[in-house]
Structure formats: structure tokens, C-alpha cells
Structure 1
Amino acid sequence: MDCSRLEYIKNVNDDGDWAYESYPIGAYFPLNFKKNNDGGVDNHAFNLPKGSLIILSQKRSGYERLLTHVVELVNEGSEDKPQWETDTWGIFRWVKVHWIADFNNPSRIPLDKKEMRANWGWFDTKAKLLSSPSLMEQWVSIDKLKAHLEEVFN
């Protein structure tokens, strides 16, 4: 997989299952963002650039946080926003799956803290830049991180 457009990592969770597990490579689905009261998530989701790749990281009961998907934003925020709803999970962006973990073999799913080499808080569902200071502290350059992730996802 070409990781040159890999720009973000995003926390996702499902109460009992792996989130988005049923979507194979090439499938499209609405990637949810949890609404907050200040409107910051709305603005954040709206402004994520079309074509960017996002790693999805999730923690399921009994497991550490794992890297489970790489998805591409397929629309501009202005194309998705008219479909948004007012409930807690009504904010979304349409994405296409480029890579998905083998959920039948969880021991082979890449471990977030091992592959990303960063310990960060997961207090919201905003997508975080891979070029963030916490990651660049470990990787020095985004190119080194992307080269490493290309090996992980191939």
C-alpha cells in the first residue's frame, strides 16, 4: 500500500465488536465522529481534506489499542455535511477502505503503541495529524514514519 497520502490517525470504538469490521478493501462507509457541545468536532470533520488517508486505531475489551484500518476520505466536507444528523454520532465523512486487519487473527493486528511509538490520550474522535509533535518526537520526520507504516500495512 502506498502511504504517501497517509496524514492522520483516528480513534474509533464499538461497544462490543470491532468497529467497521464488515467493510472489505474497496468498500465505502460513513466514518463517524462523536459530536461535542462546542462545535469543534463538526468543524474538524468538515475540514479534513478529500484524498487524505487515515489510520483507524481502536481498543476492544481484552485487547490493547490496535491499528485496524487505513481509509481514504472520498468527498469534500461540503459534500458530506448535508447528510449529517443532529444526534451524537450524526457527523461523518465517507471513506473507502485501503487496508483492513485480519480480525480472525487478532494477534497479527499491528499494535498501536509498538508501531506508532507514541503514547497519547484518546479523549475524542478527532483525527490527529501524523506530523504531530508527539509522533515527530519519536520519528524525527514524517517520511520515516510513513516508510515504516508502509512496511506495516504491506
Structure 2
Amino acid sequence: MDCSRLEYIKNVNNDSDWAYESHPIGAYFPLNFKENKDGGVDNHALNLPKGSLIILSQKRPGYERSLTHVVELVNEGSEDKPQWETGTWGIFRWVKVHWIADFKDVSRIPVDQKEMIVNWGWFDTKAKLLSSPKLMEQWGSIDKLRAHLGQVFN
């Protein structure tokens, strides 16, 4: 997988199962963003650039936080916004799956902290830049991080 367009990592939560598990490589689905009291999630989701790749990191009960998907934003935010609904999970962006973990063998699913080599807070569902200062403290450059992730996802 070409990781040169990896730009973001996003927190995904599901209280009982792996989120988006049933979407194979090449499938399209609406990636949800949870609205919070502080707002700003709609503007954030709207402005994520079409074509960017996002790693989905999720914590299933009983497991460590894991890297489960790489998805591509397939529309401009303005194309998705007319389909949004009011409510907690009404904000979404259409994505296409480029990589998905092997959910049949959870021991092979990459562990977030082991692969990213950083412990960071997961407090909302906004997509965070991979070039964030916290990650760059560890990796030095986005190219080094992308090269490492290319090995993880291939």
C-alpha cells in the first residue's frame, strides 16, 4: 500500500464489536464523527481534504487500542454535508477502504502504541495529523513514520 498520502489518524469506538469490520478493501462507507458539546466537529469534518488517507485506531473492550483500517476520503466535505443529519452521529465523510486488519486473527492486528511508539490522548473523534508535534518528537519526520507504517500495512 502506498502510504505517501497518510495524513491523519482517527479514534473510533464501538462498545461491543470492531467498528466497520464488515467493510472489505474497496468498500465505501460513511465514517462517523461524534458531535460534542464544544462543537467544531462539523467544521473539522467538513474541511478534511479529499484524497487524504486516515488510519482508524480503535479500542475494543478487552483489547489494546489497535490500528484497524486505512481509509481514503472520497468526496469533498461540501459533497457529504447535504447528507448529514442532526444528532450525535449525524456528521460523516464517505471513505473507501484501502487496508483492513485481519479480524479473524486478532493477534495480528497492529497495536497502536507499539506501532506509533507514542502514548497520546484519545478524547474525541476528530482526525489528528500524523505530523503532530507529539508524533514528530518520536519519529523526527513524517516520511520516517510513513515508511514504518508502510511496512505495518503491507
Task: Pick the TM interval, shorter chain.
Answer: over 0.9
Could you tell me how far 1:13 is from its partner in structure 2? 1.0
Instruction: Report what 2:58 is aligned to.
Output: 58
Output the CA distance in 2 between the equivalents of 1:118 and 1:133.
11
Instruction: Report what 1:137 is aligned to.
Output: 137
Instruction: Report what 1:117 is aligned to.
Output: 117
Could you tell me how far 1:39 is from its partner in structure 2? 2.7
Which sections of structure 2, spanning at least 5 residues, go unmatched? none
State the AA in 1 paired with 2:55.
Answer: I
Output the CA distance in 2 between the equivalents of 1:102 and 1:21.
9
The structure 1 segments of at least 4 consecutive aligned residues displaced by more than 4 Å after TM superposition are none
Does residue 17 of the first structure (1) align with residue 17 of the second (2)?
Answer: yes
State the AA in 2 paired with 1:24.
Answer: P
Indicate the percent of aligned positions where both proteins have the same amino acid.
86
Over the aligned positions, Cα root-mean-square deviation in angstroms equals 0.6
Cα deviations by residue, 1:36-78 (Å, 9 ceiling, x for unpaired): 2333100000000000000000000110000000000000000
Output the CA distance in 2 between the equivalents of 1:61 and 1:16.
7
Instruction: Report what 1:27 is aligned to.
Output: 27
The number of aligned residues is: 154
Counterpart of 2:98 in 1: which secondary structure?
strand
Instruction: Report what 2:82 is aligned to.
Output: 82
Which sections of structure 1, spanning at least 5 residues, go unmatched? none
Output the CA distance in 1 between the equivalents of 2:37 and 2:148.
37
Cα deviations by residue, 1:59-102 (Å, 9 ceiling, x for unpaired): 00110000000000000000000000001000000000000000
Counterpart of 2:149 in 1: which secondary structure?
helix
Cα deviations by residue, 1:7-39 (Å, 9 ceiling, x for unpaired): 000000112100000000000000000012333
Instruction: Report what 2:2 is aligned to.
Output: 2
Counterpart of 2:87 in 1: which secondary structure?
coil
Output the CA distance in 1 between the equivalents of 2:131 and 2:62.
30
